[in-house]
Amino acid sequence: MKNQYFGDINDYRKYGLLRALCRDEFSLAVCWMLTADDGSADGRRLEYLDRPLLYRPLDPPLFDFLGESVLRDRVRDVARLETAGLLGKAVFHRALLTDDADRRRAYFADALRLSRGRPLVFFDPDNGLEVKSVPRGGSGSCKYVYRSELAAAWRAGHSLLVYQHFPRVDRRRYLRSLAAETMESTGARRLVAAWTSHVAFLLLPQTAHERPLQRGLDRLRSGWSAEFRIDDHVAPMLTSAGCGAGS
């Protein structure tokens, strides 16, 4: 995440997804994986704010908040969301993440400490899951979350939600590959992908959290059906037992 992205169309969808998944009875920890702004044109997709008849009904309080922040106050900073109360009792890890490997280990240790007692942890890297060409601690590694880091959060009992930007590939085939690799590395039995043409959000629910998260997914399907496609991936060992994926 970069502050320059704050309030663009993907941010609106992201916060709408988080609000659908989490209510007061199901609290959230947000690991922003915040990186320095780079001066690029990324984050300038704000046209939706000029189309309130189309976009405001998806989540009126959220739409109004982002419009006021970005258009009226000219503020693009995740700290604005942290104090808005729109994500209930969420906690936020907003330290800056760099490529330094030692600082990265300390960063994720702090994130896990902050997340104690929160059922769901959201990881928001610039790009998404690790790629083979960028080792942890290498140049550009701050843009990725590594599966070993997700596995540590999973072992701590958290359900996981991960932002993923799409490369130029077939979307569903790419998601199937990501799902298989990520479930294998974490031990999760299920992965639900809520995705658009440009980005995906990968949800790995712990068994103990499946009911409230399923209610959240139902809210997403009801309120945001025009914005998201939802694919449900289940580990192959469960599929043969009658727990196959749908959607």
Residues 6+ away with beta carbon under 8 Å from 24 = 88, 89
pLDDT at 245: 35
What is the distance between the alpha carbons of residues 170 and 16, in angstroms, rounded to a whole number?
25
Q: Is 217 helix (H, G, I), strand (E, B) or coil?
A: helix
What is the distance between the alpha carbons of residues 67 and 151, in angstroms, rounded to a whole number?
37
pLDDT at 246: 37
Indicate yes or no: pTM above 0.85.
yes
Q: Encoding tokens for residue 114?
A: 């902050």
CATH fold group of domain 3-239: Rossmann fold (3.40.50)
Q: Is 44 exposed, middle or buried (0-12, 13-18, 19+ CB in 10 A)?
A: exposed
Walk along the chain (247 residues) and give the pLDDT tens digit of each residue: 889 989 999 999 999 999 999 976 789 999 999 998 867 755 578 999 999 999 999 999 999 999 999 999 999 999 999 999 999 999 999 999 999 999 999 999 999 999 999 999 999 999 999 999 999 999 999 999 999 999 999 999 999 999 999 988 899 999 999 999 999 999 999 999 999 989 999 999 999 999 999 999 999 999 999 999 999 988 654 433 333 333 3
Q: What SS3 string covers 134-168?
A: CCCCCCCHHHEECHHHHHHHHHCCCEEEEEEECCC
Give 63-74 as a DSSP string. Answer: HHHHHIIIIIS-
Q: Is the distance from CB of 121 to CB of 29 less than 8 angstroms?
A: yes
Residues 6+ away with beta carbon under 8 Å from 53 = none
| Domain coordinates in residue numbering, the chain | 3-239
